[in-house]
Each structure stands twice: as structure tokens, then as C-alpha cells.
Chain A
């Protein structure tokens, strides 16, 4: 049956890249490095940057999303129908939790801080899904 999963050989390397990029990206963000490094001309569609922008944050965003997706959606060594069910259940759970948090943020957080929460939200869905999937797989393999 056709599925949209990546080969198992990408699972480990993408996991390392994902977590290292998250930690490094968060460190760079908290130290305010993003505007200082890799300042290059960018194709600015709406004229907000004056044609120049530090692209470190864009690089981290793309690396985290791509590696996170590959890590979460790589096949297990034996990818059977129960693993597919565990993956689907984990995805549903993480969507509920993630959008529950978005609703909470919408009610409780305002102004610029709300947009910061939404930026976090880009990555939390991958993190929640990954944690839940790994935990459920751990329980499955232990049985």
C-alpha cells in the first residue's frame, strides 16, 4: 500500500539534526543573534527589510521543519499496520494538544507576545508529535 513516509535510514540523522537545530536555534534567538549574522540581499516581496536581511532565522526555521518532518515521518525498521495506527493516533493527539494551546494563547496572551507564541507553535506541533510517537512506540516495543 502506498504511503508518504521516508525511508528508515533517514530517521536517526534527521533526529540529531532536528534536536541540535532546535537547541541551537533557541540559543541564537535568546541571544538575539538572528539579525547580525548572514546579512544578505533577499527577495523582499513586501518591501519590509530594505532588501537586506539576516537569514540565520530563516535557515534555522527551514532546517527544523524539514528535519522534524523527516524524523517524524520516517518508517520504522518493520513498518506494519499497527505502527501506522500508532503514528496516526499520535498525530491526532498532538494536533489536539497543539491547537488547544493555540486557543489558550489566543485567550490569555495579547499583542506582540501572541505572535511570539504563534512562532513557537510552528515547532511545537512537531515536538509534541515526536514525543508522543516515540513514547507510544517505546510502550509498543516493550510489550
Chain B
């Protein structure tokens, strides 16, 4: 799986810390997701999509 999270985050002018605080997770978790070290649950994926105002499949896609 790959993701375009960093792209969306930068577009929204947000830091990893901003995203982490809004989701109630640690900054390191956001970093792990961005670097494809961790694939988030459906719930977290939906929350991320809501924050970035996009669809989940715009954020995450299969290789």
C-alpha cells in the first residue's frame, strides 16, 4: 500500500504534530504512516481523509 498523506498535509499547511493532535495519536504514528511503516486502521484512515478533505482512496492506494 502507498499513500499521499504527506502531499495532502503539506497542501493543507499542517505539520505532523498538527495532524497528530487533531487525531489524538502521537506524531511518531503520523510519521510511520507517511513513511509506509504502518498502515492505519479503517477508522484512522477515515479520520485522516476527513482532516484532509479528500476521499480515503485519494489518500491510500494499493501498489
User: Which residues in A have some Cβ–Cβ distance to B below 8 Å?
Assistant: 78, 80-83, 85, 140-141, 143
Contacts and interface: CB of A to CB of B under 8 A. Distances in A.
Given A81-B44, A83-B26, A143-B31, 16 more contacts: A78-B25, A80-B24, A80-B25, A80-B26, A80-B29, A81-B25, A81-B41, A82-B25, A82-B28, A82-B29, A140-B28, A141-B26, A141-B28, A143-B28, A143-B32, A143-B37
A143 B29 CA distance: 9
A103 B37 CA distance: 33
Contacts of A141: 26, 28
Interface centre among A82, A85, A140, A141 (most CB of B within 10 A): A82
A140 B32 CA distance: 9
A81 B24 CA distance: 10
B31 to A, nearest CB: 6
A140 B29 CA distance: 8
Interface string B32-57: 10000110110010000000000000
Nearest to B35: A143
23 contacts: A78-B26, A80-B24, A80-B25, A80-B26, A80-B29, A81-B25, A81-B29, A81-B41, A81-B44, A82-B25, A82-B26, A82-B28, A82-B29, A82-B32, A82-B38, A83-B26, A83-B29, A140-B28, A140-B32, A141-B26, A141-B28, A143-B31, A143-B37
A81 B29 CA distance: 8
Contacts of A83: 26, 29
